Structure 1
Amino acid sequence: MPIEPPSSPWIFGDPDDDRLDDLVAMGADLAPGTLLAAYRGGIFPMPGRRRRDPLQWFSPVRRGVLPLDGLRVTRSLAKSARRFEIRVDTAFDEVVAACGDPARDGGWIDDRIATAYGELHRLGWAHSVEAWTLDGRLAGGLYGVAIGGLFAGESMFHRERDASKVALLGLVEVLRAAGSAGSRLLDVQWRTDHLATLGVVEIPRSEYLRRLGDALALPDPF
């Protein structure tokens, strides 16, 4: 069972306000209690462009989610899946480090984020799903935060073709196996053209927050 950390001294307001855009708050910290309070309220952090900038907290007006029955598995992806072994939580720090590789375009994961989510992982709240080659090399993976029936995906990476997609397929299988698939929420923050090819759709923030309340009451699949 995950370990509940001390509660946060920070209070996040209700993001379900038509006057708010995607950015709903600034400041606070990345303590485990703060992160969990944010995710339970439909909010997630990102660092500012400069280290001295305050943390930014988002709750997108149009939220990207992947319905568990909506993942698009092409013939090519199904074939690729046979080239990898799926593992869970065997290389969390390595997955986060690969996702935060500064050589990647648009990289945003800094040492503060890596440390904070590493602590969440050791408390049992953050998880990695990994695609390993059959000869034992980490080829791709993803990580995110699981609270009840919510899995909030943070980032993914690949070193071999389709490895990150296979890790996503593995995650969906884990979530489906836990039951109540229709009520679980696989959050990807924003829909992109790439994620749309995998079945990601957009829902309004108000709908996301309503579904989040139902999802949080479900058992943790990990």
Structure 2
Amino acid sequence: MQYLTKELFFPNVNEADEEGIVAIGGDLSPERLLLAYQSGIFPWFNEGEPILWWSPEWRMVLFLDDIIISKSMRNILNRNIFKVTFNQNFEAVIANCQKIKREGQNGTWITNEMIEAYCKLHELGKAKSVEVWQDEELVGGLYGVDLGHVFCGESMFSKVSNASKVAFIALVNKLKNEHYRLLDCQVYNSHLESLGCVEINRDDFIYILKSE
């Protein structure tokens, strides 16, 4: 684990500590963020902490053909309750991801500094969003970083039942049509597992990431 300076650099991911932290410090410039994602690293820290850069030993990913869509979810999709758009309101999506209350979490890791940084990435066409609408209201969505062959999901939100699942499924369908290799979901949770995501080791993830 290394402390970063102004130099645009990250150590090898295999230098991560047992928790998965590769480096501390640096900044959230678009150039550094892109280098991080291209290297299999992502920022994750709480308000008031230094920037922590992670590359965990086990990575939660979705191989796109393995998505699980339940029968009840298929019924919801067929009823066209929701409208889905792409990159129509990135700022609103990330703002909602920041504000949404999550079980077992105090506060949010999406700081105002993070929002500003990812909005800059969006302006460069590198961070993208999925919006889910119901009766013209934004009720769900997700955002992440697009590397062209791997999409690195960052966060999602849902104001009504199933809205974030609709966003997730819409994104996966779009990535499949555009022949992406993988959807990176970073770290394990049971909700992602229920959608077909699995853990792979860091070496396998990096191999896929580098195989454009």
TM superposition score normalised by structure 2? 0.90
Structure 2 residue corresponding to 1:71, chosen from 67, 73, 88: 67
- 1:143 match: secondary structure: strand
Structure 2 residue corresponding to 1:207, chosen from 188, 199, 204: 204
Hey, what's the Cα distance between the residues in 1 that align with 2:54 and 2:15? 13
Mapping 1:143-154, distance limit 5 Å: 143-154=143-154
Hey, what's the Cα distance between the residues in 2 that align with 1:88 and 1:189? 22
Match of residue 3 from structure 1: none
| Partner AA of 1:69 in structure 2 | D
Match of residue 164 from structure 1: 164
Hey, what's the Cα distance between the residues in 2 that align with 1:103 and 1:75? 28
Match of residue 16 from structure 1: 14
Match of residue 5 from structure 1: none
Hey, what's the Cα distance between the residues in 1 that align with 2:61 and 2:81? 27
Q: Which has the higher helix share?
A: 2
Shift of 1:9: 2.8
Match of residue 3 from structure 2: none
| Partner AA of 1:108 in structure 2 | W
Match of residue 35 from structure 2: 37
Hey, what's the Cα distance between the residues in 2 that align with 1:127 and 1:85? 17
In structure 1, the gaps of 5 or more residues are: 1-7, 218-222
Mapping 1:84-99, distance limit 5 Å: 84-99=82-97
Shift of 1:44: 0.3
Shift of 1:67: 1.1
RMSD of aligned residue pairs (Cα, Å):
1.6
- 2:65 match: secondary structure: coil
Shift of 1:102: 6.2
Percent of matched pairs sharing the same residue: 40
- 1:166–1:132 Cα change, 3 Å: same
Hey, what's the Cα distance between the residues in 2 that align with 1:40 and 1:195? 22
Mapping 1:95-174, distance limit 5 Å: 95-101=93-99, 103-105=101-103, 106=105, 107-133=108-134, 135-174=135-174
| Partner AA of 2:138 in structure 1 | L
- 1:141 match: secondary structure: strand
Shift of 1:137: 1.2
Match of residue 4 from structure 1: none
In structure 2, the gaps of 5 or more residues are: 1-5
Shift of 1:18: 7.5
CA displacement, residues 98-131 of structure 1 (integer Å, 9 cap, x when unaligned): 0000644432111001000000001100000111
Hey, what's the Cα distance between the residues in 2 that align with 1:203 and 1:126? 24
- 1:191 match: secondary structure: coil
| Partner AA of 2:53 in structure 1 | W
